[in-house]
Amino acid sequence: MDSILVKGGKPLSGQIAIAGAKNAALALMPATLLSEEPLTLTNTPRLSDIKTMTQLLQSLGAEVSSLQDGKVVAMSSHDLTSTRAEYDIVRKMRASNLVLGPLLARYGHATVSLPGGCAIGARPMDIHISALEALGAEIELKEGYLHAKTNGGLKGGIVKLRFASVGATENVLMAATLAKGTTVIENAAREPEIVDLARCLKKMGAQIEGEGTSRIEIQGVDRLGGATHPVVTDRIELGTYMLAPVIAGGEVECLGGKMELVESFVEKLQEAGITVEETEAGLKVRCEAGRAKAVNVTTEPFPGFPTDLQAQMMAMLCLADGTSVLEEKIFENRFMHAPELGRMGANIEVHGGTATVHGVEKMKGAQVMATDLRASVSLILAGLAAEGETQVNRVYHLDRGYENVEDKLGGVGAQIERIKEQ
């Protein structure tokens, strides 16, 4: 497996272009299953997860083409050949379950394997199942597959989510566009990726109100058309690269960044004494002389602090002045990076869903292992400031969510390289 080698101690300076959002693209791509007409996505990130979703859609009979070096994905589902999402593909990625709602809505039946992805928590499918059952679906779990069907098509209803699940909101939002009557999603997720999906569906002819709030109303239509839609900026990649100059020192402008995507995250940076300013092209982050201040962080659904930035924030707080407490309220198993940071000299105590980080003045490079996607990049960030060399192993997780990390960080002065598997 490939690894990433980082030589720490060099301040950063320059610009980093932020890609389109992985989590938005992975919800937008299954939307093609709702229509016979073409759907084209621009500003698409070039990631292994996008390739996996491409393979899944193609296995159903959809036509999917990657254009302009992967930044444009053109899709057509005019003649699907299957409504069965096989385990061999679905096991690679959690977002594969997002084909369930669209297939049910358009064809009235679907068979979808239980999904895979990073081992960061349960992320149960029961929220998706109960949401679709509220629209009249009948779903049975047999031999690792969800067998779903409808009796005469989906029908509008009241969907009350017990947790503001992003995936469940996306699944039922897509399904409801073709359901008969009106659907109301209560306690809906409010993430920018939800808003982006709704905007795309509206371009296709869907009738949706309330996206970005906890109550979304969808009036079902008979059919959806095609559209061309730009994928929203990746707020997690944005936050990750905003932390790079905080950890390594220096100044970096993140092109395409928007404050509204990362407000709660920026508030914590500012509380830590970091300067963040909006520019015409994006967001600029500058680390003044001295160490950042310790801050406490609690992960919450949007607009709260993102769980997908917790690991990266921990890497920064390892070198902060004082003691920080991070409370993880989204996923119960998301501190697996803490022992690896400890190998680099970090002082971290983990008790259940809480991590206490006692800031140290310096860290030292070491051999470390990536345990999941966000942990991978947190170790790379820590390596930017560590003395000597840090080698991050098992970075196949990294390529699921970050395109060309070594090029983007290398372009602003980091000493970083990928070591290819022999």
Give dist(CA 231, CA 261) in Å, integer: 13
Asked whether residue 180 is marked as a ligand-binding residue, the answer is no
Task: Please state the length of the chain.
Answer: 422
Q: Annotation-wise, does 88 bind a ligand?
A: no
Residues 165/152, Cβ–Cβ less than 8 Å: no
283 C-beta neighbours (distance < 10 Å), count: 24
Annotated catalytic residue within 118, 200, 287, 318: 118
Q: Is 199 known as a binding-site position?
A: no
* 282, 311 Cβ separation under 8 angstroms: no
Element (H, E) at 22: helix 22-28
- Considering only the C-alpha atoms of the chain, give the largest distance between any 2 of them, rounded to a whole number of Å: 66
For residues 94 and 49, is the Cβ–Cβ distance under 8 A?
A: no
The answer to whether residue 318 is catalytic is no
Nearest to 102 by CA among 67, 63, 62: 62
Q: How far apart are the first and last CA of the chain?
A: 8
Q: Strand, helix or coil at 31?
A: helix
Q: Which parts of 178-237 are beta strand (E)?
A: 182-186, 207-209, 215-219, 227-230
CA atoms lying within 13 Å on the CB side of residue 128 = 28
Read off the tokens for 204.
């296709």
Helix (H) or strand (E) holding 160: strand 158-160
Q: Is 22 annotated as a binding residue?
A: yes
Amino acid at 380: I
**CA nearest 249: which of 156, 316, 176, 328?**
316
330 is in an annotated binding site: yes
The pair of three-digit structure tokens given for residue 20, joined into one six-digit string: 């389109």
Element (H, E) at 167: helix 166-176
Binding-site residue set for UDP-N-acetyl-alpha-D-glucosamine: 94, 308, 330
Binding-site residue set for phosphoenolpyruvate: 22-23
Binding-site residue set: 22-23, 94, 308, 330
Q: Which residues are tagged catalytic? A: 118
